[in-house]
A and B are shown apart, each in its own frame.
Chain A
Amino acid sequence: MTSLLAVLIDGSIYASWLFLVAAGLTVIYGVMRILNMAHGSFYAIGAYSAASLVGWYFNNGIGPAWISYLLLVGAALVAGLIVGVIVERGLLRLMYGRDEILMVIITYALLLILEDTMKIVWGVSPYFAYQPYTELGRTAFGLLKVSNYDLALVGVSAVLGLGLWAWLERTNQGKVLRAVIHDREIAVAMGVNVRLMFTITFVLGTTLGALAGALTAPAISVVPGIGIEVIVLAFAVVVIGGLGSIGGAAVGALLVGLSRAAAVHYAPEFELFVIYGVMSLVLAFRPEGLFGRTMARKI
């Protein structure tokens, strides 16, 4: 019984983390048709910014602990905004209109560049910002003690997901964005400023990525290469759910999160295998992912 509970709790925590990471990726793909390999680097940049800021805050013992949570989120927003605007205006804008697969390779080049930029800015030694994590304490579920920070992550992830959904489905801007997703050319003809929508989307995506990194930073040690590990997981999640679908990303995250937690508890040797196993299995039966739309072939 305990192990089942553990799987459920671990699974939902892991799933909410996965959703945070994957949300930005799927939003960017949905609107811009760019499968962003550099998304993991945005995650890493968010983690580094947050860890260095929060670490600095606590080392100097300036003020109460609750401010560190604001710093965590603030660092991510600023970093995501800056990097997003620079990358979209400085690089991607020059590349629009190329093949989807070429865009993957371009963002791969971006990933390589960002990885080393981070090494230059932050060095190669690890950063820690564990205080926000330990500050919140633990809650006991029977025999299990679960960190409150992790539980809060589940809430944050749910709120973010609902917020994104509401923005897309319930606001005017969201409606315009859906028009762009549906047919870019018609949207232009109707007077939508598609370039602006692209910038907004991309910056939103990078900020979501950075936020995911910043929120993860207290739970890990921030070292070079964390983005590279994360990006393939995020791929698995969005591909399972259907590229470009937010609901799909949520379901994909749950599926991967729960199956990984089950694997960790019952068959640890399959921990990594299971993630890509699920992905291959879903794709074998539904090539466009669980919530993807089937596209007609163009001649």
Chain B
Amino acid sequence: MRFDKTEISLALVAIACVLFGFVSPGWLIFLLTIALAKALVVQGVVMQMRSGLVSFGQGLFYCIGGYTVGMGGQFFGIHDAIAALALGMAVAIVVAMILGLLLTRYRDIFFAMLSLAFSMILFGILVKSQGLGSTDGFNVHNWTVFGWAPETGADSQQTVFTMTVLAGLLIAVLIHRYTKAGIGVICEAVRENEVRVEYLGLSPRWLLYGNYVAAASVSALGGGLTALATGHVDPEMAYWTTSGEFIFIALLGGLGHVAAPFIAAIVFSVVRTYSIEFVPNTWQMILGFTLLGVIVFLPKGLWSLVSREKSGERT
């Protein structure tokens, strides 16, 4: 297998991150873990944005991933974190394969609204489920990795961080290859002009279907890792404002590069941490103005600041 420049740099950054995790303070590790896990969910949003679909309901899979990890440990005796994460992805894939049949018939705002409705359905079910803690959710703990159980809080934090970085690396490389491969390129063509893709003899609907299912599994992984990191899941994960946050991060980063969502998620988390501390009642306002600013001045996201695209070139 040959690796290109992007993949090698991603791997180097990941190794640096893991090493950094051993020396940096706990709060920073926690912040980075959440940011990277959320970035994985955002990768799912970005995958769909590439094909022209904006999902206002990616929280659905974020929540499925988180709840499956939690329920696996709580009710089904699956204490191995990696098995639980895989199970979360599997559940998300099954759900996405069913919902995708319906959703791929829609575009634009209809796709956005229907995906929102599905995540709200899950929210509605979870809120009314007494066994799952209703609106409070429940705690996720007592998990192991390959039979090894982290003993202290710091230990488990460290472990989740390392797992998140490695999962992020794996997904980033896969998505990088996916976007460069034929199917990824055609997804962008669907965004530009769906009818012409049909003229080429391809079925946009099945492309979008596959893309949707893949995006769902990536987002579920992010949800599962968040559940492990915070040690808690609640129905809020499926609420539509959570999905709005993912769209925000996706637009902030832009679609230019596989690393963009990671960077955007870290920027987002850092800014949020400090805003909530210093200006708790204007945090959303800052978000709103930033979003407008990004749409008007940086339509390709933060990544366009660092990419060296020739000016005047359109993609």
Listed in ascending order, the chain A residues whose CB lies under 8 Å from chain B are 35, 91, 94, 99-102, 104-106, 108-113, 115-117, 119-120, 124, 228, 232, 235-236, 239, 243, 268-273, 275-277, 279-280, 283-284, 287, 297, 299
In the A-B complex, the 9 residue pairs with the smallest Cβ-Cβ separation, listed nearest first, are: A272-B124, A112-B288, A113-B288, A116-B285, A109-B291, A273-B124, A112-B284, A269-B128, A109-B288
> How many residues of B are counted as interface, with CB atoms below 8 angstroms from the partner's CB atoms?
42
- When distances are taken between beta carbons in the complex, the residues of chain B under 8 Å from A271 are 124, 128
B31 on the interface (CB 8 Å rule)? no
When distances are taken between beta carbons in the complex, the residues of chain B under 8 Å from A235 are: 113, 116-117
Distance A106 CA – B283 CA, assembled complex (angstroms): 17
Q: Can you sample 25 A-B contacts with CB below 8 Å? A: A99-B108, A100-B108, A101-B54, A101-B109, A105-B54, A106-B291, A108-B247, A111-B288, A112-B288, A113-B285, A116-B281, A116-B283, A117-B285, A120-B281, A228-B241, A232-B240, A268-B128, A270-B124, A272-B120, A272-B123, A275-B120, A276-B117, A284-B102, A299-B193, A299-B196
A109 and B292 form a contact (CB under 8 A):
yes
Interface string of B107-149 (1 = CB under 8 A from A): 0111011101110110111011100000000000000000000
B window 286-307: CB within 8 A of A: 287-289, 291-292, 295-296
Residues from chain A with Cβ under 8 Å of B281 in the complex:
116, 119-120, 124
Q: Bound complex: CA of A10 vs CA of B244, how far in Å?
A: 32
B128 pairs with A108, CB closer than 8 A: no
Q: B251 contacts the other chain (Cβ, under 8 Å)?
A: yes
Contact among B114, B125, B196 for A280, CB-based, below 8 A = B114
CB distance from A87 to the nearest CB of B (A): 12
CA distance A106 to B289 in the complex (A): 10
Which residue of A has the minimal Cβ distance to B124? A272
Using A105-B247, A269-B128 as known contacts, list a sample of 20 further A-B pairs with CB atoms less than 8 Å apart, ordered by residue number in A. Answer: A94-B296, A100-B108, A104-B56, A104-B109, A104-B112, A106-B295, A109-B295, A112-B288, A113-B285, A113-B288, A115-B285, A116-B281, A232-B120, A236-B117, A272-B125, A276-B117, A276-B118, A283-B106, A299-B193, A299-B196
Q: Which residues of A contact B8 (CB under 8 A)?
A: none
Chain B residues with Cβ below 8 Å from A110 are 288
Q: Does B13 contact A (CB under 8 A)?
A: no
Interface residues of B in 82-109 (CB under 8 A from A): 102, 105-106, 108-109
- CB < 8 Å: which of A116, A232, A243, A283 contacts B282? A116
Check if A272 sits within 8 Å of B127, measured CB to CB.
yes
The answer to whether B287 touches A280 (Cβ under 8 A) is no
Residue B195 lies at the interface, judged by CB distance under 8 Å to chain A: yes
CB contact under 8 A between A102 and B128, given known A112-B285, A113-B289, A283-B114: no
Question: What is the chain B residue whose CB lies nearest that of A116?
Answer: B285
Q: Is the CB of A116 within 8 A of B284?
A: yes
Set of chain A residues within 8 Å of B109, measured between Cβ atoms: 35, 100-101, 104, 243
Q: Which residues of B contact A299 (CB under 8 A)?
A: 193, 195-196
Looking at the assembled complex, report how far the CB atom of B59 sits from the nearest CB atom of chain A, in whole angstroms.
12
Q: How far is the CA of A236 from the CA of B56 in the complex (A)?
A: 14
Least CB distance from B107 to A in Å reads 9
Across-interface contacts of A115 in B (CB, < 8 A):
284-285
The smallest beta-carbon distance between B101 and chain A, in angstroms, is: 10
- Output the nearest chain B residue to A278 by Cβ-Cβ distance: B117
- Cα–Cα, bound, A269→B124 (Å): 9
Q: How far is the CB of A167 from the nearest CB of chain B, in Å? A: 26
Give the contacting residue for B117; candidates A35, A91, A106, A279; CB below 8 A.
A279
B102, B110, B124: the one within 8 Å of A276 (CB)? B124
Complex-state Cα separation, A111 to B240, whole angstroms? 13
A111 to B247, CA, bound (A): 14
Q: Which residues of A contact B295 (CB under 8 A)?
A: 102, 105-106, 109
CB contact between B251 and one of A105, A111, A116, A287 (< 8 Å): that residue: A105
